[in-house]
Structure 1
Amino acid sequence: MPTHRPSQEKLTLIPANARGLQTNIGDLAHSFIIPHNPDIIATVETFLNPTIPANFGHIQGYSRWHRRDRAYGTFGAIAVCFREGLAVEALEVEMDRHLEMMFFRLWKSRHKTILLCVCYRPQWQGNDPIHFFHSNIDTLLLQHNCNHLIVVGDMNQHLVARQFEDLLTEYGLNNNVNFPTHISGSSLDPVITDLPEDVITCLPLGMVGSLDHFAVLTTISTTVVRDEATARVNWLGLVEIGTA
């Protein structure tokens, strides 16, 4: 467990489809990170691969990028960085090689934790990421002793709309993005949580570079997250657990 930083009143995230982090990191920093000063920057479609140095794109005041590069093909990949001093732990989660997800545990107070997942689901991938969530959400929350869940990224959920909605319904989750995140008018970049809707705000920002996805400014009021237990069904074990 990392050294705990005193509780802060809010947690801010900027999920963004970078469509090439090497090309667009300058715009990401100057148009989004500097003006909004987020705690977490979560990028997908970084196009990074293992030939790119580990210290690439380091932003002052933030950690190095935690990366899940594609070891095969091109495009895709994930990179996440955190404000220095934020209480966070990168988690090793076993999954099939073709799945593009990263998991982290965040401490919003000394005894309350959030499981953060950053996910990229390419259009060709079908239901595999959603099936992974169905099979593993409760296990991961229990295994890592997390109270709440946040999933961000580009899921292209319009192509698997029924399965996506079933996931939200069965696990009591909300997609807090109710606006288009793509130049086509589609909403492809959800912010999924089991947090009360009144503590989280999502706002559209501009496009990273001259591309087609809008970044999303996500603010969570950590001081008013309810502490009472909420009913949650573990669909694997069919047992009810508390996730305050």
Structure 2
Amino acid sequence: MPKIRHTPEAPTGRRPLAPGAGIDAHRHDTHQIVYACRGVLSVTTGSGIWVAPASRAIWIPAGTVHEHRARGDTDLRLVGLSDNPLGLGRPAVLAVGPLLRELIIAYTGDDGPAGGERERLSAVLLDQLRRAPEQPLHLPAARDPRLTAVCAALHRDPADGRSLAQLAVEAGTSERTLARLCRRELGMSFPQWRTQLRLHHALLLLADGLSVTAVAHRCGWASASAFIDVFRRAFGHTPGRAFTL
């Protein structure tokens, strides 16, 4: 098992990542906001995956073992925090509006503020983080081997359109059991989890430069318009604006 790197303080700064690059499993004793102002970033922990385009940031509480992975040419910004402005003890995805975006970029820039200016900018940044609404972009991980097998199959092929009953037969269990496991271990229904999975993969494929039509097909939507409708309801904008504010 790879050694988990420990850093007492979560770093603050900028870290460009090439497509597919990342930061291996580690933890720190303070909290952190991670934000990709270009590209798409995923954060994986023992309880699942969080994914965020440029309109979202990921909150990582102190002590959480996690790893980062970039999709597309990614400009990663890291903000280490000794305080917990959100009061959350678990990772979360936060909406990032234009003001919060500019604050993060200014605070983490190579020629970032110092002294009193840094303290004032930090105060405004913390205030904006407290106001940032949480977004449902968590893809929980299953623990039961039957549900784990089903989730793994759909990870391999998000366009797999088999019903829960059909998947249950392959997993050697019943539809009712799988539905119960979804609620207990994933915290949502099977259709809700599958939609989250497809949105997760859609963001990654969009970051790779695939067209909206190609992404819709690969992720299991019947049409590009159906994909755009689900994407807009989840993110508040169309797939074409996934990496801009």
TM-score by length of 2: 0.26
TM-score by length of 1: 0.26
Higher strand share: 1
Higher helix share: 2
> Which entry has the higher C-alpha Rg, 1 or 2?
2
